[in-house]
Chain A
Amino acid sequence: MKLAIIVLEDEPPVRDAIARDLQEFSGEVRVEPAEDVPDARELIDEILADGDVVALLLADHRLPGETGVDFLVSTMDDDRMASARRVLITGQADHADTIRAINVGGLDHYIAKPWDPGELHDVVREQLTNYVLDQGINPLPYLPNLEMDRAITAMRGFSLTD
């Protein structure tokens, strides 16, 4: 079972750049770009069909059609997605949208554009670790992609053969 990170961003160069900045997350973590909300929904189905889980949603706010915040809010009602971590990455969300994302959309973090790659890594690593620990998943296979200290502490609860 792989942990999937969905990158929802409509502008190809920006999408490519985020994916590229996330390339160090590999192995048992898959980074999946999506260009709009319908595409992201399709992608979720594919990921689940592969037997993997959606661990993290990284969404831009301004998208054609449905906004990123609307998308994040809508996934709250999806049982398969309820536990996924949610990060808004945008340069244009106005104040009210951000508040709504935090209050209703279960937003875990907000990243402003242009993003700092180091910050992006830290946030993704932290959120993946949160996901793994919350779900009671054995961190071992994902260790290179997680916060080492917290993951190792948590691993004491699992046998090595788990």
Chain B
Amino acid sequence: MTTPYVLILGSQGRAAKIANELTANGLDELVRIVSEPTVQEALAADHSPVALVILDCRDAPLDEVIAPLREDPRYENARILSMVGNDGVVGAETSLDRGWVAAFIGLPMTHGLLARHCRDQLTRWMARHGPDADDPELRPRVHPESDLLRDFESSEATRIHELMTVIERALGPRPRLRLPAGVRLTRQDVPIDGVYIVLEGEVALTRQLGEETMLFHQDTTGRVVGLLALSTGARSRFNSTTTTPAVVVHLSTYQLDLALQLEPQVSAILASSAITQLSTRLARSEHLHTERRFLVRRLEQERAELTTALEQLREARLELITQARFATLGELSAGIAHELNNPVAALVRSSEHLLEDVADLLVTNPKGELIANTIDHSARRGATSTRDERAARRELSKVIKDDDLARRLTAAGVRNPAIAKAATQSKDLANTIELSAKLGTSLRAINLASAQITRLVSSLRSYARPDETVDGVSVNTSLEDTIHLVSHRLRGVELVRHYGELPDIRARSAQLGQVWTNILVNAADALNGSGTIELRTRRVGREVVVTITDDGPGIPEDVLERVFEPRFTTKHGQVRFGLGMGLGIAARFVHDHGGTIGIESEPGRTCVKVRLPVVGPPDALPTDAEEAS
């Protein structure tokens, strides 16, 4: 091992004085003492290893002197003593932060003190970096001379042994109490009149919190039980109980006081014991604090995960509800369509048969031709407005001067004044015309109603298989079907259709129907009974684009941002499904189809635009096998 260096950094005059002092105290036998005027020169010189640097550069900021030294591996472990004059220390922030300076030494100093400082620092350096640093037996030790610091360094067992020695020196032999496990030494919240010195065995400190007994200390109890309570107003904070067979010595407060007076060493030992005990408890508390932070963080994380899970569950539930509704709707639709088809067919056929049979009957009737013509005329004529009918009635009334008959004849579709005049002559003729017309009107009503039912049934069919993806779906037809099914919501709304030529697409037609339903019902609600909805379809590349525009009051900006959220609805502030539900479900179905949906709104114009890929939903693209079949 090469002899380590002590480097004195500073002006030559003072450096020489410092070197002299060190030499005079025999340090030159341990180390090589060198001095350099500047850091640069020190670094240029060939000193290694350096155990100690004594800085006497009192004008320069400390950090600027030390930083370059620390960057050099030869100075990495060197301990640094900083001589401080009347001006104090300047520019030492980094040095303090990194712990570079081992000690600050005030000037002027007592003769010989610097050498003692150096010896102490050198010992510490040797303990860590000297040739025997790795050997716990040979490693040099620093021996404090004060009682307190010396007691800190000794083990708890040694300390207690020493304590007993000095106490018994003062008080005479103390009786040993031999206790089994489970003996309570102090009670929580009860005043304390003495301490127990635990020579053997273990003591646990607990607190009673309601029903629960909480363990606070076991390994961290310390050997002098009750000492800390004495310092804090003499009430025990804990129940202390032996947990193993134990040997203890009891000292009353009086006996303790006496021992402290007679043997000053007792106080040093008790102080070091108390401080050690406190610091182990503090360490434990700090550890618990860290652990609590960690637990809180983990709790927060778990709570966030739970929230997410809950959110996902809610969404899944909504999805299930929607699916269940669709399944139900599908089954119902199929059932209703099937059940309605038969009666409707019977209705249509019967009405035709009725007409034929009546015609046959009339062949032999003298007024047969009139009756047949009137029935036929009434059955075919379109609906007239009540306004027009009243005008026609007034005309007839002028001619025949009979309001009541005029009303009956107009209702029967008579517009010809000549026939009306004839009817005034014959009550029988009037009755015949009226009855025949009513017959015709009823037939027309039956035909119209059955046609309407037939149309509804065929519209319902598209809802029959909600999850099935099929080819050949016509978006225009799908829109028309929906318009039929929600026509009751579209009363008073003018529909303007601009349907383009579209390719058939691959889609789930029931979901498509739901998309249009939701958009249309939303628009109709906004219009509140009067306004225009414009439907426009066109093909753009490989997509079909549908825009549905209404001229309603528009959607407020803050609401607009949220209309596609899964559970958003402005109606009564609650979630509703089925007809009248929000655009969220529409958006989900469009996305499931691999399409996009967007909305723009301003007062007087709200436009929803849906783009659907012609190839259909990405998850339901036809497989090769399907195509082959």
Question: Would you give the shortest CB distance from A65 to chain B, in whole angstroms?
Answer: 5
Interface SS of B by simple majority: helix
Contact of A39 among B386, B404, B441 (CB under 8 A): B386
Give Cα distance in the complex from A69 to B454, angstroms.
31
Question: In chain B, what residue has the closest Cβ to A19?
Answer: B411
A34 at the interface (CB under 8 A from B): yes
Question: In chain B, what residue has the closest Cβ to A13?
Answer: B445
Question: In chain A, what residue has the closest Cβ to B382?
Answer: A12
B449 at the interface (CB under 8 A from A): yes
B407 at the interface (CB under 8 A from A): yes
Give Cα distance in the complex from A151 to B341, angstroms.
49
A98 at the interface (CB under 8 A from B): no
Question: In chain A, what residue has the closest Cβ to B492?
Answer: A64
- Across the interface, do B530 and A33 meet the contact criterion of CB distance under 8 Å? no
Question: Would you give the shortest CB distance from A30 to chain B, in whole angstroms?
Answer: 7
A122 at the interface (CB under 8 A from B): no
Task: Assess A33 versus B386: contact at CB under 8 Å? Given A13-B445, A20-B438, A65-B529.
Answer: yes
B residues less than 8 Å from A65 (CB atoms): 492, 529-530
A16 at the interface (CB under 8 A from B): yes
Question: Would you give the shortest CB distance from B388 to chain A, in whole angstroms?
Answer: 10
- Across the interface, do A63 and B491 meet the contact criterion of CB distance under 8 Å? yes
B residues less than 8 Å from A13 (CB atoms): 444-445, 448-449
- Across the interface, do B491 and A62 meet the contact criterion of CB distance under 8 Å? yes
Contact of A92 among B386, B449, B488 (CB under 8 A): B488
Interface flags for A11-45 (1: CB within 8 Å of B; 0: not) read 01101110110000010001011110001001100
- Across the interface, do A39 and B387 meet the contact criterion of CB distance under 8 Å? yes
B residues less than 8 Å from A75 (CB atoms): none
B628 at the interface (CB under 8 A from A): no
- Across the interface, do A16 and B441 meet the contact criterion of CB distance under 8 Å? yes
Interface SS of A by simple majority: mixed
B383 at the interface (CB under 8 A from A): yes
Contact of B387 among A10, A26, A42, A92 (CB under 8 A): A42
Interface flags for A67-90 (1: CB within 8 Å of B; 0: not) read 100000000000000000000000
Contact of A30 among B383, B407, B444 (CB under 8 A): B407
Interface flags for B511-555 (1: CB within 8 Å of A; 0: not) read 000000000000000000110000000000000000000000000
- Across the interface, do A46 and B383 meet the contact criterion of CB distance under 8 Å? no
Question: In chain A, what residue has the closest Cβ to B452?
Answer: A13
Give Cα distance in the complex from A19 to B488, angstroms.
23
B385 at the interface (CB under 8 A from A): yes
Residue with the highest number of chain B CB atoms closer than 10 Å, among A10, A13, A16, A32: A13
Give Cα distance in the complex from A43 to B448, angstroms.
27
Question: Would you give the shortest CB distance from B453 to chain A, in whole angstroms?
Answer: 12
- Across the interface, do B386 and A34 meet the contact criterion of CB distance under 8 Å? yes
B residues less than 8 Å from A26 (CB atoms): 404
B390 at the interface (CB under 8 A from A): yes
Contact of B445 among A17, A64, A67 (CB under 8 A): A17
- Across the interface, do B491 and A43 meet the contact criterion of CB distance under 8 Å? no
- Across the interface, do A43 and B445 meet the contact criterion of CB distance under 8 Å? no
Give Cα distance in the complex from A138 to B527, angstroms.
48
Question: In chain B, what residue has the closest Cβ to A36?
Answer: B386
Residue with the highest number of chain B CB atoms closer than 10 Å, among A16, A17, A34: A16
A residues less than 8 Å from B448 (CB atoms): 13
Give Cα distance in the complex from A30 to B404, angstroms.
8
A residues less than 8 Å from B390 (CB atoms): 32, 43, 46
Question: In chain A, what residue has the closest Cβ to B407?
Answer: A30
Question: Would you give the shortest CB distance from A145 to chain B, in whole angstroms?
Answer: 14
Question: Would you give the shortest CB distance from A16 to chain B, in whole angstroms?
Answer: 6
A residues less than 8 Å from B386 (CB atoms): 15, 32-35, 39, 43
A residues less than 8 Å from B492 (CB atoms): 63-65
A residues less than 8 Å from B442 (CB atoms): 20
Question: Would you give the shortest CB distance from A42 to chain B, in whole angstroms?
Answer: 7
Question: In chain A, what residue has the closest Cβ to B530?
Answer: A65
Give Cα distance in the complex from A46 to B390, angstroms.
10
B residues less than 8 Å from A12 (CB atoms): 383
Task: Assess A67 versus B383: contact at CB under 8 Å? Given A62-B488, A92-B488.
Answer: no
B residues less than 8 Å from A62 (CB atoms): 488, 491
19 pairs across A/B with beta carbons < 8 Å?
A13-B444, A15-B386, A16-B441, A17-B445, A26-B404, A30-B407, A33-B386, A33-B389, A34-B386, A39-B386, A39-B387, A42-B387, A43-B386, A43-B390, A46-B390, A63-B492, A64-B530, A66-B529, A92-B488
Could you list 20 further interchain pairs (A-B, Cβ under 8 angstroms) beyond the known A64-B530, A65-B492? A13-B444, A13-B448, A16-B441, A16-B445, A17-B445, A19-B411, A20-B441, A33-B389, A35-B385, A35-B386, A35-B387, A39-B385, A39-B387, A62-B488, A63-B491, A64-B492, A64-B529, A65-B529, A66-B529, A67-B529
6 closest Cβ pairs, A-B complex = A12-B383, A64-B492, A13-B445, A35-B386, A33-B386, A65-B492
